[in-house]
Structure 1
């Protein structure tokens, strides 16, 4: 984790400050256009392998209707994103003593009409998820296509985060949030930075 240089667009000081003050942060223009394109192609080429998403313990529920594909070593392009998240984890551990040890991630596809209702990624602090991240990898998006992330920050304020292409949303996993209904196919990588403890 320590040997990877983060992209210049990743302002670590700003990320840490925003997480400290509000519980969430954003990175815009995260990667080069070439990487975005190859990552999008990798995701789209595997869409036939996606399955209905589930909540805790593999239970399929009407709380969400998206489709996912868990990342593995064979998805080489997506693994580069995970390596950068692991490198960011070293900074998060140093600043907040989170004890993050690993990342788990999946591609997510929200087709028109699909959503994810209000929830927390780490209810009761039981699953080790400390930080949640969503990387929007579709190459085009319009504001009236829906699919926004609606999130309540650590101070109780609500925010609407647009799924702009090449944007990463980063937030505490215990924050209440939802994905509003999409009106157009929305592609992303959802990743959780995990620890054995929950201390937020």
Structure 2
């Protein structure tokens, strides 16, 4: 039986258990990719994760579901302070290793950019990415993001320092719609 195409949708509070597990797995597997750490987040409760994904006009968390399981996540939120409310920030972009290279991160990015585009007054979407994450940098550039800064030694993980690239995309240049159809993704076995 052929597998169905991955589904990207906004996460709801009922997704909190799957989100918590995926987020903790991500923090263990690629600690240099996140500003937070496993040590900080493993004590968070399901209520904490439900609060992350509670319905809000100025933020959203999306997930991509493949073969019925949460295979990737992304968050997007408008800046809260009055003088910077014209900017949104993308955070926590992650796809499980078995599903990488299948276009799922692009689909998540398109969902987040689409959501930012309907936030009244948002003109720019920003993100930061660990400088050594070449695949993510290429993806963001292919969507029109441009580098506006480079923060040296932005993160320290187990004594190793990592730089971050700061990127931005004016929404009038965003390519939030699908640029091409995606073939059904297939799980890569380790």
TM-score (norm 1): 0.33
Of the two structures, which has the highest relative contact order with CA contacts closer than 8 Å and spacing of 6 or more?
A: 1
Greater helix percent: which structure? 2
